[in-house]
Amino acid sequence: MKILILTMFILIMVISCKPKTNNEIHSNLLTIDTHIDIPIKLVRDSTYNLEKENSLLGSRSQTDFPRMDKGGLDAAFFIVWTAQGNRDSLGNKKANEKAHNILETIKARINPASLFAELAFSTNDILRIYNSNKHPILIGMENGYPIGNDISQIEHFYKLGIRYLTLCHTKDNDICDSSTDESEDEGLTNFGIDVVKELNRLGIIIDVSHISDSSFYQVIKYSKAPVIATHSNVRSLCNHPRNMTGDMIKLLAKNGGIIDINFVDEYLKTPKPNKEKDSLITNLKSKFDEPNLSDDKKAILYKEWDIIQNKFSDDMATLSDVVDHIDYVVKLVGIDHVGIGSDFDGGGKVKDIKDVSEISNITTELLKRGYSENDIKKIWSGNFMRVFKEVENIANK
């Protein structure tokens, strides 16, 4: 009898000490992607169904709930994106109307999908929805253009569910200068300083992706709350003005914030010289270089962009490149200041992570490089949840 009990004890110990598989580790994590542009697809295509699995080739989309389940992605920010147009009353009005339309579209697709997902507006919501085995979906606004120069619009959009604001996009606006605009870089405007303070007051996370270096330094100066680069990369590894320098990342960490690495090829590695590809991209950009592109023209632009990228797919960045950027941040400022912001459906795509169904490959690569389960938990959600909670706390003081 004693021998039997001892044998059973040993078996229990062996089973309990059995190392977890990569899939087990990933499935036990709360995973959050801070930037997914699937609303672009939802607005363009009223028939697109988030509740069924769509093929990447057939739908030219990267996100739906079944594929999120396959990849083990729990929560995501769906983005209200507006391209920068004319900075006048008419342009502001059109951008504001478009932002409302995208917001309404997101809610119209998420609310009926109650078996799969639920809109989240706080850290408590994220945990509650996650614990009910559904996907928490949050809403971020990329580009402050819809606000125009009306500070009251920030609270208006907060009440509609916006929980982070990317201050600008690829062009300057009334809030700040963009990292990729050719105009003189002066950073935040006076109105932009007020915007930063209002975002802090309300509890909206400030996103510093896309903004110029000068704008970034001024945001750090004026923000009382930690800020996030929701979909940015490291300039030392890929010399693009859209990426962050080591000094900027150090200040971001000192502020308590995080940089969430994205999967856009041209922000991950400096492309090899390719005259044919460069010429095609230049021609494409000039072809569509106009403010307030119609949805039909945008659809053509995205299709032609995909054709170019697929033609030269051998030069695409890889999963390894993505984790190289994570490694760099961790070595520079520690494990507490990095996360994931894929930019799926907005240009984010690398070899081995073609859509959200393959996003667990990040965990596999991190484990291969020696990251602990606790480290990976911080990267996938712990760091973001800490920042979001602090933003909420500052707003409630």
Question: Could you tell me the two tokens for 87?
Answer: 């900075």
Structural contact between residues 179 and 211, judged by C-beta atoms closer than 8 angstroms: yes
Per-residue pLDDT of the chain (397 residues; tens, 9 = 90+): 556 555 565 555 544 556 788 889 999 999 999 999 999 999 999 999 999 999 887 788 999 999 999 999 999 999 999 999 999 999 999 999 999 999 999 999 999 999 999 999 999 999 999 999 999 999 999 999 999 999 999 999 999 999 999 999 999 999 999 999 977 678 999 999 999 999 999 999 999 999 999 999 999 999 999 999 999 999 999 999 999 999 999 999 999 999 999 999 999 998 777 778 778 888 887 877 766 667 677 778 777 877 777 777 667 899 999 999 999 999 999 999 999 999 999 999 999 999 999 999 999 999 999 999 999 999 999 999 999 999 999 998 8
Measure the CA angle with vertex 327, ends 321 and 329; round to 5°. Answer: 110
pTM over 0.85: yes
The strand ranges marked E within 204-357 are 205-207, 228-229, 258-261, 338-340
Helix, strand, coil share (%) of the chain residues, nearest 5: 50, 15, 35
Nearest CA among 252, 244, 243 for reference residue 225: 252
Nearest Cα neighbor of 348 from 266, 242, 230 is 266
